[in-house]
Amino acid sequence: MLKIHNTLSRKAEEIKPIHDKKIGLYTCGPTVYNFAHIGNLRTYIFEDVLRRVLEYDGYKVIHGMNITDVGHLVSDADEGEDKMEVGAKREGKHPLEIAKQYETAFFDDLKKLNILPPTKLLRATESIKEQIEIIKILEQKGFTYKDESAIYFDTSKYQSYGKLAGQKLQDKKIGAREEVVVDKRKKNSADFVLWFFLTGRYKNHVLRWPSPWGEGFPGWHIECSAISRHLLGQPFDIHAGGEDHIGTHHTNEMAQSEAAFGNPLANLWVHGAFMLIDSGRMGKSLGNFIRLQDLVDRGYSPLAYRYFTFGAHYRSQLNFTWEALDAAQNALDNLYDKISELKGQPRKFACADYIQTFEREINDDLDMSRVLSLAWRLIKSDVDDGLKQKTLEQFDRVLGLDLLAGAENLKSVPKEIKHLAKEREKARQEKNFKEADVLRVKIEQAGYLVRDTAQGPVVRKK
């Protein structure tokens, strides 16, 4: 059974499903005004592993996700423009066109990374009615106040506000830079907008809906309260996301859902750590973001990135460098290569010893780097080849690295291509780099890629 670190209790807890063998899992989706960067994608890979482990353990996972296509402002402190409108202006399109375009790109990335799509999906713009319903309840219960520009959630009325991050309300001002700005409209600096009216900066906001309080659009956090409740009920089992959501977005989701309905939003809160790039923050707003496509353009396979993320525990920061990705690509290519050399067919049963260790490791707070080491130990062991194949196939239900298919792919490299790779290696050893380069281009033109690993060159399909 899975034991996982709960951000709320600050300790590892065993999963105790609300409904027998079913788990309701909610993960916050993207704001679709731009491409996802690989740091965002690390979070989705970690959530995918979480879901795969639950499914491996025999649960039926109902995985709900939102798509943010309205109301997420440039600043988390309810300042600035709606990100969707920023995207729309940048590209001269309607916000919903932008949303569609980047939602497609997002799911494309997920597919390439073997990330299972959510079983239930709802867009913010498709759940306006549900969002308004919750705001109405909050208003009836006295948790809101209003001025000419918005309806706010009054955090001082909700006793346990900030419990997820372990923050007291008065401490909330310290932290994110934007929150230092004192917003005169708000009674408490942590208060947040539930519904924006079409005034000031938002006078010409494109996406707008009628509401009992007047025309406008929802704040960012309310959509996740409405969508998770609509898709999974309340409480549901696990809410997952990136650690950057703990202090504001998840804290606010929790406050409004629990204030409105008097019961917890989710039983367990699980968060993945940031990814750094060359030891610094990566972010769309910082303009240094790397997309999955950038890796592909440089000749890396998306699954090498997936492999790379398994190098650190999901709750530890991971530092992205091209050298580290290179090492991951080499390791994955080697793994495929070794598997392709295994004789015969997968057996019916896996190796019990290895499976036992594997199950212990995945269920111990998703320890994927130990699972990778285990796979390598198995490859190098004297376990029968057929057993190895079946065991790796079973590991791959969680790893999602296409281990057997990747190996099969290697086997399907035509003789001529393998020959070219050998010739190239010979040229390289003779330091005839010009010739080696000509041969590399030939291999690439035939639709294959050659990589030099510690164990020699490995060729794979592009």
The span of 20-28, 255-263, 329-337, 428-436 binding Zn ion (CB under 5 A) equals 20-28
Euclidean distance between CA atoms 446 and 441, whole angstroms:
9
Judged by phi (left if over 0) then psi (alpha if -120 to 50, else beta), residue 447 lies in: left
- Contact stretch for Zn ion (CB under 5 A) within 122-130, 216-224, 424-432, 436-444: 216-224
Pick the stretch among 35-43, 144-152, 195-203, 217-225 that binds Zn ion (CB under 5 A). 217-225
Q: In this chain, which stretch among 81-89, 218-226, 336-344, 378-386 interacts with Zn ion, using CB under 5 A?
A: 218-226
Nearer residue to Zn ion within complex by CB, 28 or 98 = 28
Instruction: Using CB under 5 A, count the residues that bind Zn ion.
Output: 2
Binding to Zn ion in span 264-303, by CB under 5 A:
none
Pairing of strands 11-14, 3-6: antiparallel
Q: How far is CA 214 from the centre of its chain?
A: 36
Distances in whole angstroms, Cα of residue 7 to Cα of each of 10, 273, 312: 5, 12, 19
Question: What is the closest distance, in whole angstroms, from the C-beta atom of residue 227 to Zn ion in the complex?
Answer: 8
Among 8, 110, 224, 399, the residue binding Zn ion under the rule CB under 5 A is 224
Q: Which two tokens stand for residue 163?
A: 């419990």
In Å, what is the CA distance from 31 to each residue of 113, 184, 256, 420?
19, 28, 20, 45
Q: Round to whole Å and give the CA distance between 395 and 403.
A: 9
Comparing CA positions, the residue from 373, 379, 383, 387 lying closest to residue 338 is 379
Q: Which is nearer to Zn ion, 162 or 406 (CB)?
A: 162
Task: Report how far residue 43's alpha carbon sits from residue 370's, in angstroms, rounded to the nearest whole number.
Answer: 19
Q: How far is the CB of 292 from Zn ion (least distance, A)?
A: 22
Q: Determine the interface stretch with Zn ion among 32-40, 145-153, 221-229, 392-400 (rule: CB under 5 A).
A: 221-229
Question: Cβ closer to Zn ion: 28 or 193?
Answer: 28
* Shortest Cβ 295–Zn ion spacing (Å): 27
Nearer to Zn ion, 240 or 417 (CB): 240
Is the sign of the CA dihedral 360, 362, 366, 367 positive or negative?
A: positive
Of 267, 271, 269, residue with least CA distance to 236? 267
The CA distance from 323 to 337, in Å, is 21
Q: Confirm if 238 and 271 have CB atoms less than 8 A apart.
A: no
Closest to Zn ion by CB, 224 vs 421, is 224
Q: Work out how close the CB of 66 gets to Zn ion at its nearest, in angstroms, rounded to a whole number.
A: 6
Alpha carbons 325 and 318: distance in angstroms, whole number: 12
- Shortest distance, CB of residue 231 to Zn ion, whole angstroms? 12
Whose Cβ is closer to Zn ion: residue 127's or residue 301's?
Answer: 127
- Using the minimum distance from each CB to Zn ion, give the nearer residue, 239 or 451: 239
Closer to Zn ion by CB, 2 or 224: give it.
Answer: 224
| Minimum distance of Zn ion from residue 249's CB (angstroms) | 5
Q: Which of 134, 125, 26 is nearest to 72 (CA)?
A: 125
Of the ranges 186-194, 198-206, 223-231, 329-337, which one interacts with Zn ion (CB under 5 A)? 223-231
What minimum distance in Å lies between the beta carbon of 239 and Zn ion? Answer: 8
CB 387, min distance to Zn ion, A: 43
- Looking at beta carbons only, is 82 or 361 nearer to Zn ion? 82
Binding mask 167-206 for Zn ion (x = CB under 5 A): ----------------------------------------
Minimum separation from the CB atom of position 363 to Zn ion (A): 26
Shortest gap between Cβ of 43 and Zn ion (angstroms)? Answer: 12
**Binding positions for Zn ion, 25-44, rule CB under 5 A:** 28
Phi-psi region of 40 (alpha: psi -120 to 50; beta: other; left: phi over 0): alpha
Of 21-29, 75-83, 342-350, 372-380, the segment contacting Zn ion by CB under 5 A is 21-29
**Minimum CB–partner distance for residue 321 and Zn ion (Å):** 30
d(CA 446, CA 425): 17
- Binding region for Zn ion (CB under 5 A) out of 23-31, 318-326, 370-378, 428-436: 23-31
Regarding 240 and contact with Zn ion (CB under 5 A), the answer is no
| Cα–Cα distance list, 126 to 89, 203, 209, 223 (Å) | 22, 22, 11, 10
Least Cα distance to 8 among 267, 234, 191, 252 occurs for 267
Q: Please identify which residue in the block is written with the tokens 């996406």.
A: 207
We find the least distance from the C-beta atom of residue 58 to Zn ion, in angstroms, to be 28
Pairing of strands 60-67, 120-123: parallel
Q: In the block, which residue shows the tokens 């989706």?
A: 29
Closest to Zn ion by CB, 34 vs 228, is 228
Q: How far apart are CA 15 and CA 59, in angstroms?
A: 11
Burial 6-41 (b: 16+ CB within 10 A, else e): bbbeeeebebeeeeeeebbbbbbbbbbbbbbbbbbb
Residue (139 or 253) nearer to Zn ion, CB: 253
Residues that bind Zn ion (CB under 5 A): 28, 224
